[in-house]
Amino acid sequence: MQTVLVAGGAGFIGSNLCERLLSKNYRVICIDSFITGNKENIDEFTKNKNFSFINADITSSSFQSNDLSKIDYIFHLASPASPNKKSPRSYISFPIETLLVNSLGTYNLLEIAKKSNARFLYASSSEIYGDPKISPQKEDYFGNVNPVGVRSVYDEGKRFGESITMAYFRKFNVDTRIIRIFNTYGPRMRADDGRVVSNFTNQAILNKPLTVYGDGSQTRSICYIDDLIEGLIGAIISDLTSGEVLNIGNPNEKTILDLANIIKKMTNSSSKIIFEPLPEDDPKIRKPDIEKAKKLIDWNPKVTIDHGLQKTIEYFRGL
């Protein structure tokens, strides 16, 4: 039986990954500090004998006192990820923690990967492309990031994380891969983290106004969580991804105003749509080029936006 370390395993993506790994008969060690992760996300796994949990911050060295010597795979998903300054869970609320978890935290996990000869996957982000000047974004695009803007703690944190991951690949032959995750949604998103899908869905369910920022003409391409998880596992088990960078996301691009209308309709909501100021440095467009993931790991998103949103609406209604 192989052992997988999931840093950030109590978060939205991390907990869905733990669940899938357990169902595939891996032994899972989940680490989380609950800055933005949620204990409820992992409660049901604690009954599984193949699941163990370490309550720790990967930027502190104390978590390494646990026996982490026999690890086969490491997923680094630990980081605040929401840019919404209105949310107490956003990376704007945790700027230093965000920088450190992607720099020092990545370093600490890469050291474990080096010592235990584990495969390593760094969860990067489409944010490293900043406000892109080309679309769709391919992995060889260098991006357009404001290095001192409010979003820079995340963008530059992720860029540093990518850089140190490549340094360990080049200098120590650690078997690394970098996955640039594009907007993802689905069950176990936090209701309060201020992301567009969770905000619109919860507002629509409660018949409160849907808050579109700016004029809603900015675009995003949203990927359902199950598709992303397939991509993450596919990437870490593949020999072809060693030292590579892959975009994982759904190229189905929509304007934010269209998304508001779709969610309003699907929830039969009487909510109005209201317009609020666009946040600083909010990217105008975002759409992944996924040819590389298709070619290297035969990955393609399969879940339609209707099905994915239906599942997400059911989840938030059930909370």
Which residues form the interface with ligand UDP (CB under 6 A)? 82-84, 183, 194-196, 199, 211-213, 218, 220, 256, 279, 282
Shortest Cβ 199–ligand UDP spacing (Å): 4
Active site residue 122: no
Element (H, E) at 210: strand 210-213
Which C-beta is closer to ligand UDP: that of 18 or that of 212? 212
Q: How many CA atoms within 13 Å lie on the side-chain side of 276?
A: 12
Catalytic residue among 26, 129, 154, 168: 154
Shortest Cβ 78–ligand UDP spacing (Å): 17
Shortest Cβ 200–ligand UDP spacing (Å): 6
Q: Are 23 and 49 in contact (CB under 8 A)?
A: no
Which C-beta is closer to ligand UDP: that of 155 or that of 226? 155
Shortest Cβ 61–ligand UDP spacing (Å): 31
Q: Are 222 and 197 in contact (CB under 8 A)?
A: yes
Which C-beta is closer to ligand UDP: that of 29 or that of 285? 285
Residue of 14, 5, 282, 19 lying closest to 127 (CA atoms): 282
Identify the residue whose tokens are 């907990």.
15
- With 0-12 CB in 10 A as exposed, 13-18 as middle and 19+ as buried, what is 1? exposed
Give the number of residues written for the chain.
Answer: 319
Distance (Å, whole) CA 252 – CA 153:
28
Shortest Cβ 150–ligand UDP spacing (Å): 12
What tokens were used for 208? 């409160």
Which C-beta is closer to ligand UDP: that of 15 or that of 82? 82
Measured CA distances, 204 to 36, 186, 258 (Å): 24, 16, 14
Element (H, E) at 40: helix 39-43
Which C-beta is closer to ligand UDP: that of 116 or that of 255? 255
Active site residues: 154
